Each structure stands twice: as structure tokens, then as C-alpha cells.
């Protein structure tokens, strides 16, 4: 399905494995709570995309869309229909080769670089999907480069993904965001997401939101 608007310089289309490098770049350039994370992950620019992009394009291609303009890939929206199945597959199939390439960091966690903290996650997956999220079993991520932001494209991409989730029968979708990313928080509120209740086990610094579907 191509939802390109012929009057727009930007096109939304299904992602393919050939888009991997471009989508990883978007992930890195928005990887510091919505801002450029290049400096944080300079020792391995793929470290973040290996968690937040790669497995979605490979395992959930029906729910992976990129935004493209003449200069290349400038955004994506990625979803997983059933978070439990998806996380199981990531743990069983996606992380093992990454573990071989990137040993778990040792020593004091306070001394680890941001990249090493991600390597730790490859070895000790941190996916948060408590029972209270089960009414919203799907989850999603969206990131746009600065040149694509503030033009209504985020709304279009979220609506596009949500229409697909509804078509696939999902009863609800959730997402997590950095608590300091107030811009994204307001955006998600505008898109009909509400805060999920917190508990003692909720990771610090992360806000979880959900939206019932359809």
C-alpha cells in the first residue's frame, strides 16, 4: 500500500530490508530523547537501531513504514501486533547473533558508555510488558528527522499505522517514551493516547501511554 500524496515532497511507503541503514540513521539522529544521539553512540552508531528498528522491519514488515523525500529516508513508524510474540522472537532469534558480536559489558554499570548499556540489553532484555498492558497488546515507535517534523506527517504516519492495526484486529496499542520528551508526550496526547498507570516495577524515566482501538 502506498499512501503517497502526489502534492507532497514526502512519501510514506512500506519499509523493506533495503531501508535498514536509512531507518537506523533516523533512529540515531532522534535517539537522545528525540534529539540527535550521534555523540552518545559514536562507538557504535548501529547499537540503538539494533533494538528499536531492525527487528521491526524484519519481523513485522506489515507494520513498518518509512517516510521518504528527495534526500532519502527521513522517518519511520514501526509497530508490533502482539508484543509478547514479538519480544519472544527478538529474544530467541534477533539478539543471539548480536550477543556474539557484542559481549556483555563487565564492571561497574555506572562506568558503562550508553552503547555498552545497550549491549547489556542484548544480553539481558529489558522489554516491559506487564499484565496491565494486555488490553493494548500492540506497540509502536515513530521518529522523524527535523526536516520532516511539524508538518502533520507524524499524525499521518500514526493514523496510517493505526488503520493497519485495526485492520489486523488489534484491540489496543501502547508505547513508551522518555519522560523528558515533552514534545512527543503532547503529540501522543493529541493522537488520542493516555497515560498508563504506573507501578513499582515501571522503569524510571519512561512514560507509557496507550490508545484503545478502533
Which of 152, 197 has the CB closer to ligand COA? 152
Per CB under 6 A, does 187 bind ligand COA? yes
Per CB under 6 A, does 144 bind ligand COA? yes
Give the one residue of 88, 123, 167, 190 binding ligand COA; rule: CB under 6 A.
Answer: 190
Torsion of CA 179, 207, 150, 143, to 10 degrees: 100
Within 10 A of 78 (CB to CB), how many other CB atoms are there? 24
Alpha carbon distance 107, 50 (integer Å): 23
Which of 88, 186 has the CB closer to ligand COA? 186
Query: Closest distance between ligand COA and the C-beta of residue 183, in Å?
Result: 4
Query: Closest distance between ligand COA and the C-beta of residue 182, in Å?
Result: 7
Give the one residue of 49, 181, 196, 210 binding ligand COA; rule: CB under 6 A.
Answer: 181
Give the one residue of 97, 135, 150, 203 binding ligand COA; rule: CB under 6 A.
Answer: 150
Give the one residue of 100, 110, 131, 152 binding ligand COA; rule: CB under 6 A.
Answer: 152
Which of 6, 152 has the CB closer to ligand COA? 152
Binding mask 13-32 vs ligand COA (x if CB under 6 A, - otherwise)? Answer: -----------------x--
Q: Are residues 47 and 117 in contact, defined by beta-carbon separation less than 8 angstroms?
A: no
Give the one residue of 12, 66, 80, 153 binding ligand COA; rule: CB under 6 A.
Answer: 153
Q: Report strand pairing: 72-80 vs 172-178.
A: unpaired
Alpha carbon distance 206, 194 (integer Å): 14
Which of 57, 78 has the CB closer to ligand COA? 78
Q: 56 in helix, strand or coil?
A: helix
Instruction: Write the secondary structure of 111-176 as one string of H (helix), E (strand) and C (coil).
Output: HCCHHHHHHHHHHCCCCCCCHHHCCCCEEEEEEECHHHCCCCHHHHHHHHHHHHHHHCCCCEEEEE
Which of 135, 150 has the CB closer to ligand COA? 150
Alpha carbon distance 37, 48 (integer Å): 9
Per CB under 6 A, does 154 bind ligand COA? yes
DSSP bridge partners of 14: 65
Q: Which residues bind ligand COA (CB under 6 A)?
A: 30, 34, 142-144, 149-155, 177, 181, 183-184, 186-187, 190
Amino acid at each position: 500500500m502506498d499512501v503517497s500524496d502526489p502534492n507532497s515532497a514526502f512519501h510514506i511507503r512500506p519499509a523493506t530490508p533495503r531501508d535498514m541503514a536509512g531507518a537506523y540513521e533516523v533512529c540515531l539522529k532522534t535517539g537522545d530523547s528525540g534529539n540527535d544521539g550521534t555523540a552518545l553512540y559514536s562507538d557504535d552508531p548501529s547499537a540503538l537501531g539494533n533494538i528499536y528498528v531492525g527487528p521491526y522491519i524484519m519481523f513485522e514488515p506489515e507494520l513498518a513504514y518509512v517516510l521518504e523525500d528527495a534526500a532519502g529516508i527521513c522517518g519511520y513508524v514501526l509497530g508490533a501486533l502482539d508484543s509478547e510474540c514479538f519480544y519472544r522472537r527478538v529474544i530467541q532469534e534477533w539478539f543471539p547473533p548480536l550477543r556474539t558480536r557484542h559481549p556483555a559489558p563487565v564492571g561497574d554499570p555506572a562506568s558503562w558508555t550508553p552503547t555498552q548499556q545497550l549491549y547489556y540489553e542484548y544480553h539481558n532484555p529489558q522489554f516491559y510488558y506487564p499484565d496491565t498492558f494486555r488490553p493494548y497488546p500492540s506497540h509502536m515507535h515513530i521518529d522523524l528527522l527535523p526536516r520532516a517534523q511539524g508538518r502533520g506527517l507524524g499524525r499521518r504516519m500514526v493514523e496510517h499505522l493505526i488503520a493497519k492495526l485495526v485492520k489486523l484486529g488489534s484491540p489496543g496499542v501502547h508505547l513508551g517514551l522518555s519522560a523528558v520528551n515533552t514534545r512527543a508526550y503532547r503529540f501522543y496526547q493529541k493522537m488520542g493516547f493516555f497515560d498508563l498507570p504506573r507501578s513499582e516495577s515501571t522503569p524510571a524515566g519512561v512514560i507509557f501511554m496507550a490508545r484503545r482501538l478502533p
